[in-house]
Amino acid sequence: MIVTLLHHTDKPEELVLQAMAKCYDRKPTLKSLQAAIKAGHTSLLEHVSFTWELQGISRVVLAQLTRHRIASYTVRSQRYCDEWDTDYYVPPELGPESRDSYLRGIRRSRDCYRKLLGEGVPKELARYVLPQAVHTELVLTMNARELYDVFFPLRLSKRAQPEIRELARHMLVDCCWVAPGIFGEPEDWEGYDE
């Protein structure tokens, strides 16, 4: 999994403070901003957004990701792109025996996909046999409110699946690096289990 931050709002805390000043006609401090966020006034965070390039995530995670409707997605199209050489997710939790079964299953699906392409079946039909573990790539834009209020609480949680938790941790590290005044440090989110 490769998570690359392509773009983010410049000096996010400053912009959010400017917005907050507008609301109350009074210059707030970073401290009062943080108090406002803790008190749930997170609409201010919508002015800040992050754009990532995500590579090497499975279509399983894509399905979980796109359920977040307040975000923008541009996804590698299986209708137009060739998945001949595309890689696959392998859950690290599998024991050695299951791992073998798993890999054999994946290999056979891939071979079947290639065979269908070889027989002239269009990519958009052949892809039906691809396993859900197949990797995809996308560009994702999400605003800081959705990240703070919904995505991180839900996807860093112990109840989330390992693959999307890994993705969420990568994204969190970027957010904390860019906007520590809003997101704090990654450790602040540890043990999070909503």
Residue closer to a second copy (CB basis): 115 or 185: 115
For the beta carbon of residue 189, count every other beta carbon within 10 angstroms.
18
* Shortest separation between residue 127's beta carbon and a second copy, angstroms: 6
Residue from 27, 30, 35, 132 touching a second copy (CB under 8 A): that is 132
Under the criterion CB under 8 A, does residue 185 sit at the interface with a second copy? Answer: no
Q: 87 and 1 in contact (C-beta within 8 Å)?
A: no
Q: Which of residues 78-107 bind a second copy (CB under 8 A)?
A: 78-82, 89, 91, 93-95, 97-98, 101-102, 104-106
For the beta carbon of residue 178, count every other beta carbon within 10 angstroms.
20
Catalytic residue among 104, 114, 155, 169: 155
d(C-alpha 51, C-alpha 64), whole Å:
18
Under the criterion CB under 8 A, does residue 188 sit at the interface with a second copy? Answer: no
Q: Catalytic: 114?
A: no
Q: 45 and 16 in contact (C-beta within 8 Å)?
A: yes
Q: Which of residues 102-131 bind a second copy (CB under 8 A)?
A: 102, 104-106, 108-109, 112-113, 115-116, 119-121, 124-125, 127-131
Under the criterion CB under 8 A, does residue 60 sit at the interface with a second copy? Answer: yes
Buried b or exposed e, range 94-128, using 16+ CB within 10 angstroms: eeeeeeeebeeebeebbeebeebbeeeeebeebbe
Which residues are catalytic, by number? 155
